[in-house]
Amino acid sequence: MADKRGGKAALASLSKYKLTLSRFQQFCDRNNLQFIREIRLEHLSQWRAEWQKYYGSAFALRNNQSRVRHFFRYCKRARMIDDNPAADLSAIKVTDVDFEVDPFTEKEYKIIPQSHT
């Protein structure tokens, strides 16, 4: 997190990293993983299977995976680990269906604040 803050990451980005790492810590605690060097690809795959309960779109899943990859890339550069297990996670597929957006319902449209220009 200090590296991200020092790199002037946006507050929204910092919040997302904090949330991702908090969820990762919870996963590690449940699985008795105490050290970053204990984490293997199979652990990350198991954890990734849980993400569906947090994220409703392939975009969000892909963005979360990107944060995980960045975290482990940092750990490797900082020589905390010899290998980056997140580098081998399979890609999260974003399909044409993921680009489809439903229009607002009439009820939703009525609650959107209207600009007064």
Tokens 């482990």 belong to 72
State the pTM of this model: 0.73
pLDDT tens for residues 90-101? Answer: 988 877 666 566
* 24-69 per-position pLDDT tens digit: 999 999 999 999 999 999 999 999 999 989 887 888 899 999 999 9
The Cβ of residue 14 has, within 10 Å, a number of other Cβ atoms equal to: 13
Distance CA 84, CA 70 (A): 10
- What per-residue string of b and e applies to 65-78 under the rule 16 or more CB within 10 Å gives b? bebbbebbeebbee
pLDDT value of position 75 = 94
Helices and strands per DSSP (H, E), number in the chain: 5, 0
Look up residue 113 and give its DSSP letter.
P
Does 117 score more than 90 pLDDT? no
Amino acid 7: pLDDT = 63
Sorted by where each starts, the structural domains of the chain and their CATH numbers stand as 2-111 (1.10.150.130)
Q: How far apart are CA 89 and CA 45, in angstroms?
A: 7
